Structure 1
């Protein structure tokens, strides 16, 4: 049976690598938390924008409907004026 021994320098190097790995993992977790927070904020903003777009689309449809109605009223008034001219 051969027993392997680790020198103090090798142990310190290993310890340093473990500490670096722990720091790297902490930084990655923090970065992930920030990214998830930004993602959530972006989703909320996107939902708000979709809502505004739906409202704007509804308003656009209403404006188009009112324009058609206005044109119909205008034609009826012109027709009534032409009939009144014929009577005079």
Structure 2
């Protein structure tokens, strides 16, 4: 046999290595796709939560403004009552 010839066993070993490499690449692609899908889902959740926080902050600001308006009105009514007494 010449040195350029590959034995059947060597060819089968090489074939097994190629098949394992293909399987590893396939598995890594699937893992990457799953990671990208999870990242997209997490981005959507983050956007939703950010929107909820923004809404809550707006609501708190509105409630604080309403509270301040009620406080001013109550103080005015108390001053008017004091003037009557």
Alignment TM-score, normalising by the size of structure 2:
0.94
1:15 match: 15
- Work out the CA distance in 1 between the residues paired with 2:59 and 2:82: 34
CA distance in 2, matches of 1:27, 1:14: 20
Question: What CA distance in whole angstroms lies between the structure 1 residues aligned with 2:14 and 2:57?
Answer: 63
Structure 2 residue aligned with 1:51: 51
Count of residues paired in the alignment: 84
Name the residue aligned to 2:82: 82
Query: In the alignment, is residue 73 of structure 1 matched against residue 82 of structure 2?
Result: no
* CA shift for structure 1 position 3: 5.4
Shift of 1:22: 0.4
Which residues of structure 2 form unaligned runs of 5+? none
- Looking at structure 1, the residues matched to 84 and 55 of structure 2 have their Cα atoms a distance apart, in angstroms, of 43
Question: After TM superposition, which residue ranges in structure 1, 4 or more long, deviate above 4 angstroms?
Answer: none
Per the alignment, residue 28 of structure 1 pairs with 28
RMSD: 1.1
Q: TM-score, normalised by structure 1?
A: 0.91
